[in-house]
Amino acid sequence: MKDPVLEKAAVSELARQRGTINLIPSENYASKEIMALLGSPLINKYSEGYPGKRYYPGNALYDTIETLAAERIKKVFRLGADWHVNVQPYSGSGANLAAYLALMQPGETLLGMGLAAGGHLSHGHRVAMPGRLFHSVQYGLGSDGLLDYIEIERMAIQHQAKVIVSGVTSYPRALDFAKFGHAAKKAGAHHVADISHIAGLVAAGLHPSPFPHADVVTSTTHKTLRGPRGAFIACRKDFADRIDRVVFPGLQGGPHNHVTAAIARMGFEALRPDFKKYQKQVLLNAKALAVALIKRGFRLVTDGTDIHLMVIDCSPIPLGGMEAETLLEAAGITANRNAIPGDASPFYPSGVRVGTPAVTTRGMKERDMAAIAGFFERVLVLKEKPASVKKEVEAMMKKFPLYE
């Protein structure tokens, strides 16, 4: 039976994705195989519980799939028998909440990175549940605009932190997980590393691994890992029961089996040699884009990047992040407005966040990053009409086919 409204929406969304330069660092394009699993009969089954202990019949296949997904994640991150992986969290925020609830009591202290510094809402911001359930203390950046690990350790000890969370959504520099682990030890706290953004880089060995220095590692699966929308929690074996119990039945009901299967497929893809090649190109493209933007006079937060993303400070242009985001979208470029250090409003911030995972999946290389920087200059600085730039963007994207 036809549903023309939704069919038209899906067709026009595919056209939008094909014709757009997508620089939102948390987005990517999952493979056709992953999308097929997400739309497969696996969506029809309830499997509350865990492999070997389900609360519904008919789950032999789902035990196999869930075990495979967890085993592949362990392989992707080179984890030994002392680690356990739970692939059931519906999202990254839920995975973080589950990790905190497994490691501390409501009212105890959660030390996480502030939003404007580059942290995530689920790292203790007052508007999200972890910031309300726990006594949230937020760290920022040092006077050089970089993480000040001595200060983080001092805060952890002063506030008797029970959990220190490391991880970023817009801080463009590599994280020193060893220093976070050290601070946690000194304070008698647990270290939760949220690697949602950088998981693909960690898997490829292109960013230092948090695993030797953390008790629990959480991640989404749809960013640099290029899997389905979903999440996982990896924890040291000692915490396995607590983590599993908080995820189900504590916070969730039945796992989304179609997502679990797609996570298993993501693991399969991440274990192939071309995955590392892809992650290397993500980094090369990010470096090239940062250099090209700086050459054209843009100011980047911390003056560059070590990872897959960077943040443009739009205030010298002068533009607000919202205006810049709107102009770029009208030119066929998606990059999201983002708070930068010192900003008070996440709705009207001064920055625009830019990343390379999605354009690298489309097949773009360093020379294309230089062209993108040129589009930015024309739209944001030279104030050329976005509609005329959009035509060039659409023509350019025809060279990088998507789902054809």
Q: Which residues contact ligand DSN (rule: CB under 6 A)?
A: 26, 92, 120, 169
Decide whether 120 or 265 has the Cβ nearer to ligand DSN. 120
Catalytic (active site) residue 100: no
Q: Which of 48, 71, 329, 366 is labelled catalytic? A: 48
Confirm if 99 and 216 have CB atoms less than 8 A apart: yes
Estimate to the nearest angstrom the gap between the alpha carbon of 149 and the chain centroid.
22
Decide whether 189 or 225 has the Cβ nearer to ligand DSN. 225
Q: Give the β-pairing of 336-338 and 351-355.
A: antiparallel
Catalytic (active site) residue 277: no
Q: Give the β-pairing of 109-113 and 163-166.
A: parallel
Q: Which of 18, 74, 154, 229 is labelled catalytic? A: 229
Q: Which of 109, 169, 218, 220 is labelled catalytic? A: 220
Confirm if 209 and 177 have CB atoms less than 8 A apart: yes
Q: State in angstroms the smallest separation of the CB of 383 from ligand DSN.
A: 28
Phi-psi region of 138 (alpha: psi -120 to 50; beta: other; left: phi over 0): beta
Residue 259 structure tokens: 């997502």
Decide whether 42 or 198 has the Cβ nearer to ligand DSN. 198
Q: Which of 153, 194, 306, 325 is labelled catalytic? A: 194
Decide whether 169 or 209 has the Cβ nearer to ligand DSN. 169
- Measured at CB, which residue is nearest to ligand DSN? 26
Decide whether 178 or 251 has the Cβ nearer to ligand DSN. 251
Distance CA 308, CA 356 (A): 6
The helix or strand, by DSSP H or E, that contains position 332, with its residue range, turns out to be none
Residue 29 structure tokens: 């394009």
Confirm if 403 and 32 have CB atoms less than 8 A apart: yes
Estimate to the nearest angstrom the gap between the alpha carbon of 118 and the chain centroid.
12
Decide whether 116 or 389 has the Cβ nearer to ligand DSN. 116
Q: State in angstroms the smallest separation of the CB of 348 from ligand DSN.
A: 17
Catalytic (active site) residue 46: yes
Q: State in angstroms the smallest separation of the CB of 120 from ligand DSN.
A: 6
Q: State in angstroms the smallest separation of the CB of 45 from ligand DSN.
A: 28
DSSP string, 31-93: -HHHHHHHTSGGGG----EETTEESSSS-HHHHHHHHHHHHHHHHHTT--TTEEEE---SSHH
Decide whether 166 or 169 has the Cβ nearer to ligand DSN. 169
Nearest to 209 by CA among 244, 174, 159: 174
Q: State in angstroms the smallest separation of the CB of 400 from ligand DSN.
A: 22
Q: Which of 46, 55, 90, 149 is labelled catalytic? A: 46
Q: State in angstroms the smallest separation of the CB of 240 from ligand DSN.
A: 25
Nearest to 308 by CA among 249, 361, 245: 361
Q: Which of 54, 162, 173, 223 is labelled catalytic? A: 223
Distance CA 27, CA 313 (A): 21
Q: State in angstroms the smallest separation of the CB of 184 from ligand DSN.
A: 23
Distance CA 61, CA 64 (A): 5
Catalytic (active site) residue 108: no
Q: Give the β-pairing of 49-50 and 53-54.
A: antiparallel
Residue 289 structure tokens: 């884009």
Catalytic residue positions?
Answer: 46, 48, 194, 220, 223, 229
